[in-house]
């Protein structure tokens, strides 16, 4: 009960407003983070694909290549093979690029690599999957 001349909000009104703000944020925040999640997930997929190509090159003692195709696809193939061992698809709503002009990374039987990066972006948020010359792969 409010007394005459007292201004302000009651405790129940404050709790109601805070609860409503919490409900609205719980609905809105996942939508805002969905694009970021897709970029992070795609960067992880590229990372795993590169690791797989590196370990395959080491175990089979052959050069292996990872190439970007149109349609946001990555292909893994052996040096002298005409067909791809595996093709991985990245979300079509994202932008996929490579710092190398030939859009290809190479791993040798020693585990070393031709250095470069794959970049995945939604236009406002991006991740880089960096391959160092020593074969070390990291996500930035």
Q: Express each pLDDT in 17-63 by its tens digit.
A: 999 998 988 887 776 678 888 999 999 999 999 999 999 999 999 99
Distance CA 10, CA 41 (A): 45
- Give the sheet arrangement for strand 95-98, strand by strand: 95-98, 116-121, 126-131, 137-139
Short-list 86, 85, 72, CA closest to 43: 72
10 or 109, which is more confident = 109
pLDDT for the residue 4: 60
pLDDT for the residue 82: 86
Q: Is the pTM of this model over 0.95?
A: no
Residue 1 pLDDT class (50, 70, 90 cuts):
low
| Domains, the chain, with CATH or none | 34-139 (3.55.40.10)
4 or 85, which is more confident = 85
């Amino acid at each position: 009960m409010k007394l005459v001349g007292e201004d302000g909000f009651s405790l129940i009104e404050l709790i109601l407003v805070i609860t409503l703000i919490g409900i609205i944020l719980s609905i809105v925040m996942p939508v805002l983070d969905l694009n970021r999640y897709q970029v992070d997930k795609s960067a992880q997929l590229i990372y795993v694909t590169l690791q797989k190509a590196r370990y395959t090159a080491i175990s089979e003692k052959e050069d292996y290549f990872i190439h970007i195709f149109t349609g946001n696809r990555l292909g893994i193939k052996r040096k002298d093979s005409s067909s791809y061992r595996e093709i991985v698809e990245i979300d079509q709503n994202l932008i996929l690029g490579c710092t190398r002009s030939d859009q290809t990374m190479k791993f040798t039987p020693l585990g070393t690599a031709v250095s470069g990066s794959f970049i995945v972006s939604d236009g406002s948020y991006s991740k880089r999957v960096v391959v160092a010359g020593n074969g070390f792969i990291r996500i930035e």
